[in-house]
Chain A
Amino acid sequence: MSKKLRWRGLLVLIVIAIALIYLTPSISKTLPPWWPNVLPEEKIHLGLDLKGGMHLVLEVQAQKAVETHLERTVEDIKYSLRKAKIRYRELKRSGPDRIGLTLLRDEDRKAVEGMVANSFADLAVESGSFAEREPELELVLSQKAQQHTKRMAVDQAVETIKNRIDQFGVAEPDIRPQGRDRILVQLPGIKDPKRAIDLIGKTALLEFKLVDEDNSLEEALRGNIPPGDEVLYQIKGESGSQKKIPFLVKKRAVLTGEYLTDARVQIDSRYNEPYVSLSFDSRGARLFERITGENIKKRLAIVLDDVVNSAPVIQDRITGGRAQITGRFTMEEARDLAIVLRAGALPAPVKIIEERTVGPSLGRDSIDKGLKSMIIGGLIVILFMAVYYRFAGILADLALFLNIIFIAAGLALFSATLTLPGIAGIILIIGMAIDANVLVFERIREELRLGKTPRAAVDGGYSKALVTILDANITTLIAALVLFQFGTGPVKGFAVTLSIGIVASLFTAVFITRLIFDYLIIERGMKKISI
C-alpha cells in the first residue's frame, strides 16, 4: 500500500477511535472501573428542555439593599449622636441614597461633620436649606458604597439561594450571578416547580415588632399613622374567603431572623398540626429575654415578609431563646418555611423575570419525537443516496453515519449541551452533509462523461468541488457562530451541533470518502466507478 494512503487511513482510524472513546460513557450503562482513571467519563449533557427542569432568571432589587443599609446606618448614627450628646429634631432616611438630619443648634454642625468623617466614611455631608436655627443636613451615601452594597446583595442572595436549594434537595443545581443584578438558577429534573419558586422567591425576612397599643388603630387606618409606626396585616383563611386583619406596630424591629441558629418543624401534640420552632443564638436570646421582660402583657407581632404571622400577648419573660411560628401549615409548607428561615433572609427582595419550566414527561416526549424524526429522515436520505448513486451513495451513507458519531462525540468532548433545537440541528446536518457528497459525485459524473479514467475523474471531481464545498460550508458556519454568540440556552445548543456537524461533515464527506475511492482505485485497481 502506498505510504500516503496508509497515513491517511491511520488518521481516519485514530479519529474514529477517539470519537468512540468519548462516546462510550454516554452509551454504555456501566464503565469498567479503570475507565475514569485514564479515559474521559463525561457524558453528553442534556439541556433542560430535554431532561425536564426549571430555568429562572431573578432580578435582585438591589436598591432595596441600599435602603436597608441606610436604615441600619440611621440607627448607628442615633447611637453616636446620643453618645456625643448632640440633640436633633429629626433623623431618618430621606431618599434612596440619603439620610436627612435636622439639628437643633447650628453649633453642632461641625461636630456632626467630624463624627461622620470619622465613623461613617461612606457618607458625605451636604447642607440642605441654610437656617440660623435647626439646620438641615443631608448625609449622602457615596456611589462606591452603593455599588458595593448592591454587589454584596447579589452575592449574598446567590449564597442564600444555594443554601435553600441544597436543603430542598436538587441534583446538580446551577446557581450563579449574571450581569449586574441578575441571578441565573437552573434546576434540572425538578418535580414540583411551584414549590421551588416559593422557596427561591421568598425574601424570608423574619422580624419581631411590638404592637403599638397606645395609639388608635382606627385612626391609623384612616391615614393618621403615628410617626415610627406602620400598619401590617395578618391574612387568615383560604384564598377566596381571605380576611385581612390590620395591626398597628412599631416600625423598628426589636429582633430579626439574623439571630436565628436553627428552625425546625415540630408537631403540635394537641392539634396534630406542624409548626416551626426557632432557636436564637446567645445574643438573640438575651435580646428576646430583655424585650419580653420589658413588655409583659403587651403583644409582640411575628412578621414574615411584612405579613403578620401572629401577635401573641407576652405572658412572661422568655428565657432560653426559643420561639415558634404557628399557623395552619401543611407539612410541606412548614418544612419549606423552616428551610428558608435556616438559610437566612435574602438581603433584598428578588423578582422572577424569566421562567422556563419543562416537565419531565414533555422532555421525554421531545427526545422520543426528535429521535424518531431523525431516524426516519435519515433512513429516507440513506435509501435515496444508495439508489441514486449506488456504490458511491453507500459510501456517502457511511460518511453520514460517521458524521453523526462525530457530532455526538464532539458534544461530549466540548461538554456541550444537547437541546431540542440541537437535535433539530443534527437532523438538518443529515440533509446538509449529503450536499458535499452530491457536489463531488456530480462533478465525478461530469468528468466521467468527458471520458476520463476513474482515477482522473475522482481526482478532478474532488479537487474542483472542494473550493465550492469550503465556501458553502463557511457561510453556514458564520451563521452558526453568530448564533452561538448571541443565542441563549436551546438556541446555543443548535449553534453548537450545527458547527460541529459542519466541521465533521467536511472530514467525513470529503476526506474519508476520498480515501476509500483512492484505496479502491489505486490498490484494488477498480476499473469502473459505480456512481
Chain B
Amino acid sequence: MEFIKPNINIDFIGRRKVAHLVSGALIVLSVLFLLFRGGPNYGVDFAGGILIQIRFTQPVTPDGIREALKPIALEDSIIQEFGEKGKFEYLIRLNRTDVELSGLSGKVEKSLDGMFGEDNVEVRRVEMVGPKIGKDLRQKALLAIFYALLLMVIYISGRFEYKWTMSIIMAACLAFGVYIISALGMSIIWLIVVAVLITIGLCWFLRLEYALGAIIALFHDVCITLGAFALTNREVTLPVVAALLTIVGYSLNDTIVVFDRIRENYRRTQSRNFAKVINQSINETLSRTLLTSATTLTVVICLFILGGGVIHDFAFALSVGIVVGTYSSIYVASPILLIWERPSWEGGAARIKRRGKGS
C-alpha cells in the first residue's frame, strides 16, 4: 500500500514565497496574541498560587462555591467546570501569591465541607506553589529551553557540516554572550531572546546554513505553539514546557531526515541546481515525513481525547507542535538553505569524497 507515489514531484520550493508568508503571518499573529494577553498565560507552577480540583456528589453552581469561599476571602478566585459534564467537578484557581498560601488548601476544604457537607466534597488535587518556588521553576524551565537549543544547534552544525570547530566557536560565543547578559542582571526571558538572536547571527556569519535552517524552524514551531496556547487561553505549566522541548526534539528529527537526504542527493548528483536538489529531497522523504507524523499525531490525539483533564494541555501542545513541526521541516527549514545560492560545504563535500564514501 502506498499513499504517496514514488515518482511524486510537488514543487515545494517554488511555492516557498507563499509558505514564508503563511509562516510569517502565523508568527506575527502568535506574537500579537501573546502581547495581547500580556505574555504567556503562566499556570500555577510558574505564576505561583493555588489550584484545587474538587468533585461534588451533587450539582453545585460556581456561585454556590463562591459563596462558600467568602468567609476565607477567596471569593474572587477563578472557578470553572473541569473534565466531563455531569461529574460535578470544578477547578478553583487563584493565580496570586499575595495571600498566605501555606495551609490554604485545608481552609478551602473546611469551608466547602461546611457548606456542602463533608461527604459530598472530595478534594481530588491540590497544587500550591509559593512565590519562591514559582520563580525557581520559571528559571529552571527557561534554562532548560536555553540549554536544549544550545546543545541541538551545536550538534547539528557539528554533525552536518563537519564544522565541529565552528560549532565550538559558536558555543563559546554564545556562552560568553549569555555570561555578559546574566552579569548585567537581565531576566532569563531576555537571555533566551538574545541567545536566539546571537545564534541566528552567528549561523549567518559563520555560514552554518543547516543550523540556521533548523533553529529558525524550531523558533517557528515553539512560537506558533505558544500562540495557539494564547489563542485558546490555555495555561503554560511544567508539563507544557516539557511538551515544548519534546516538540523541539521532534521537529528537529523531521528536519534532519530531510537535511540528510539533501546532503546525500547533492553529493550524488553534483547538481548545480541546488533548489532542484532540495525539492527532490523533500519529495523523496515526503512519504516518510507524513507517515511518521500521522502515526505520532494519532497516538497523541488519542491521549488528548481519552487521557483526561490533567494531561489535556500537554497533549494539546504536542498535537499542535507535531503539525507545525512537520510543516516547518518541509516549508521552513529546507528553503532557508537557499539563502546562499550554493552550499558552503561544497568544499567540504569534496573532502568527504576523498575520505571515501562513509555512510
Contacts and interface: CB of A to CB of B under 8 A. Distances in A.
B306 A479 contact: no
A487 B311 contact: no
B143 interface: yes
B4 to A, nearest CB: 9
A478 B146 CA distance: 12
A365 B55 CA distance: 13
Contact of A355 (B105, B137, B245, B260): B105
B238 A377 contact: no
A293 interface: no
Interface string B211-253: 0000000000000000000000000001101100110111011
B43 interface: no
A360 B58 CA distance: 20
Interface residues of A, number: 80
A207 interface: no
A381 interface: yes
A491 B250 contact: no
B123 A479 contact: no
Contacts of B147: 482, 485-486
A194 B298 CA distance: 41
Given A197-B103, A356-B126, A479 B303 contact: no
Interface stretch (A10-18, A225-233, A301-309, A430-438): A430-438
Interface residues of B, number: 75
Nearest to B254: A472
Contact of B105 (A193, A362, A378): A193
B71 interface: yes
B335 interface: no
B307 interface: yes
Interface stretch (B13-21, B176-184, B186-194, B289-297): B289-297
A432 B359 contact: no
A468 B256 contact: yes
B102 A352 contact: yes
Question: Which of A434, A442, A476 is the most central at the interface, judged by chain B CB atoms within 10 Å of its CB?
Answer: A442
Contacts of A59: 130, 132
Interface in B266-313: 284-285, 287-288, 291-292, 295-300, 302-303, 305-308, 310-311
B256 A240 contact: no
Nearest to A365: B308
B101 A486 contact: no
B contact patch SS: helix
Nearest to A476: B249
Interface string B93-121: 00000000111011001100000000000
Interface string A233-270: 00000011000000000000000000000000000000
Given A49-B310, A435-B253, A479-B246, A240 B126 contact: no
Contacts of A388: 1, 291
Interface string B308-347: 1011001100100000000000000000000000000000
Nearest to B151: A478
Interface in A440-485: 442, 445-446, 449, 463-464, 467-468, 471-480, 482-483, 485
Given A240-B71, A421-B311, A475 B253 contact: yes
Nearest to B131: A353
A155 to B, nearest CB: 21
Given A377-B299, A432-B250, A467-B359, A357 B105 contact: yes
A306 to B, nearest CB: 16
Contacts of A483: 144, 148, 242, 245-246
Interface in A490-526: 490-491, 494-495, 498
A479 B148 contact: yes
Contact of B126 (A193, A376, A389, A442): A193
A362 B144 contact: no
Contact of A445 (B6, B152, B315): B6
A438 B288 contact: yes
Contacts of B238: 487-488, 490-491
Contacts of A353: 101-102, 129-130, 132-133
Contact of B292 (A354, A435, A478, A491): A435
B212 to A, nearest CB: 16
A434 B126 CA distance: 37
Contact of B242 (A57, A385, A475, A487): A487
Interface of B: 1, 6, 53, 55, 71, 101-103, 105-106, 109-110, 122-130, 132-133, 137, 140-141, 143-144, 147-148, 151-152, 155-156, 159, 238-239, 241-242, 245-246, 248-250, 252-254, 256-257, 260-261, 284-285, 287-288, 291-292, 295-300, 302-303, 305-308, 310-311, 314-315, 318, 359
26 contacts: A351-B130, A353-B132, A369-B311, A372-B306, A376-B302, A384-B295, A387-B1, A389-B1, A420-B310, A421-B314, A427-B300, A427-B302, A434-B295, A435-B253, A435-B292, A471-B159, A472-B252, A480-B246, A485-B147, A487-B238, A490-B238, A490-B239, A491-B238, A491-B239, A491-B241, A494-B242
Closest 10 CB pairs of A and B: A431-B296, A479-B249, A377-B299, A377-B302, A353-B130, A486-B144, A476-B249, A369-B308, A373-B306, A355-B128
Given A432-B250, A471-B159, A478-B249, 19 more contacts: A193-B123, A355-B126, A356-B127, A357-B127, A358-B125, A359-B124, A370-B307, A376-B306, A427-B299, A463-B359, A472-B254, A477-B249, A483-B148, A483-B242, A487-B140, A487-B238, A490-B239, A491-B238, A494-B239
